[in-house]
C-alpha cells in the first residue's frame, strides 16, 4: 500500500513527519469467454461425420462489431454448431458482471487474478457422470488465457445425441479480437470422455 507525506507538526525542537496510508487504486479487469457448443447424433457419430467434426476450428475470432467491454465485465461469445446445419456456427454475445457466474462456472477475483470454478451437472454436461461438487479450475493473471473442454451423451424421446463444450477464457487489459487465435493457452482443463 502506498504512503503519502501529508506535512509536518512541530513539537518543541522536533519535527514529526506524518505518513498516511492511501488505498491502492483498484484495477479493473476484462474477461473474454468464448463458448463453443457442438451438437450431433448417431447419424454423424462415425465416419465421415466424425472427420468433419474433428476438422472444425477449436477457436474463432471475436466479432468485428464488438468495440469495448465495460470495466469489470465479462464478454460472452457463444457459438452453436449443429449437425442439422452442417456445423456452421451461429453466434451471439452478451456482457456479464465480474465477479459473477456463467453456465456452471463461478467467476471471481483474487490478488489481481481471475479465478474460475466449475460444477458438473448431468442435465448440462451429459454422461458419463463426473464429480458434481463445485471445484476450482484455474486462475488467470493479466494477459493469460485458459481452455476448458467437456463432452457428454444425452438421451431424449427422439434418440441419443451428443454435445461437446469448449470454453476459452482470456484475462485482458484491452479487447483483442484475435485473443484466442494465436499462441497456446496458459491453462488447460479437459474432461473429455469416450462417448459410445
Q: Are 59 and 16 in contact (CB under 8 A)?
A: no
Rounded to whole angstroms, how far apart are CA atoms 187 and 165? Answer: 16
Cell numbers 451471439 correspond to what residue? 92
Q: Are 33 and 167 in contact (CB under 8 A)?
A: yes
What angle is formed at CA 91 by the lines to CA 53 and CA 30, rounded to 5 degrees? 110
Looking at residue 28, what is its pLDDT? 58
pTM above 0.75, yes or no: yes
Nearest to 112 by CA among 65, 72, 165, 163: 72
User: Considering the chain, what is the average pLDDT of its residues?
Assistant: 84
Q: What are the tens digits of pLDDT across the range 100-154?
A: 899 999 999 999 999 999 999 988 999 999 887 789 999 999 999 999 999 999 9
Amino acid at each position: 500500500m502506498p504512503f503519502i507525506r501529508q506535512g509536518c507538526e512541530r513539537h518543541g525542537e522536533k519535527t514529526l513527519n506524518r505518513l498516511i496510508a492511501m488505498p491502492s487504486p483498484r484495477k479493473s479487469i476484462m474477461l473474454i469467454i468464448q463458448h463453443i457448443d457442438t451438437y450431433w447424433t448417431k447419424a454423424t457419430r462415425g465416419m465421415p461425420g466424425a472427420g468433419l467434426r474433428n476438422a472444425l476450428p477449436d477457436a474463432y475470432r471475436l466479432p468485428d462489431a464488438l468495440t469495448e467491454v465495460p470495466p469489470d465485465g465479462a464478454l460472452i461469445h457463444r457459438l452453436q454448431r449443429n449437425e442439422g446445419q452442417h456445423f456452421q456456427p451461429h453466434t451471439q454475445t452478451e456482457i456479464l458482471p465480474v465477479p459473477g457466474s456463467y453456465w456452471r462456472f463461478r467467476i471471481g477475483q483474487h490478488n489481481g487474478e481471475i479465478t474460475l470454478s466449475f460444477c458438473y451437472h448431468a442435465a448440462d454436461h451429459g454422461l458419463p457422470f463426473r464429480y458434481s461438487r463445485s471445484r476450482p479450475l484455474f486462475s488467470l493473471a493479466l494477459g493469460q488465457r485458459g481452455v476448458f473442454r467437456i463432452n457428454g451423451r444425452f438421451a431424449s424421446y427422439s434418440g441419443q445425441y451428443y454435445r461437446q463444450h469448449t470454453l476459452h477464457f482470456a484475462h485482458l487489459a484491452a479487447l483483442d479480437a484475435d485473443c484466442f487465435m494465436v499462441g497456446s493457452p496458459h491453462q488447460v482443463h479437459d474432461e473429455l470422455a469416450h462417448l459410445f
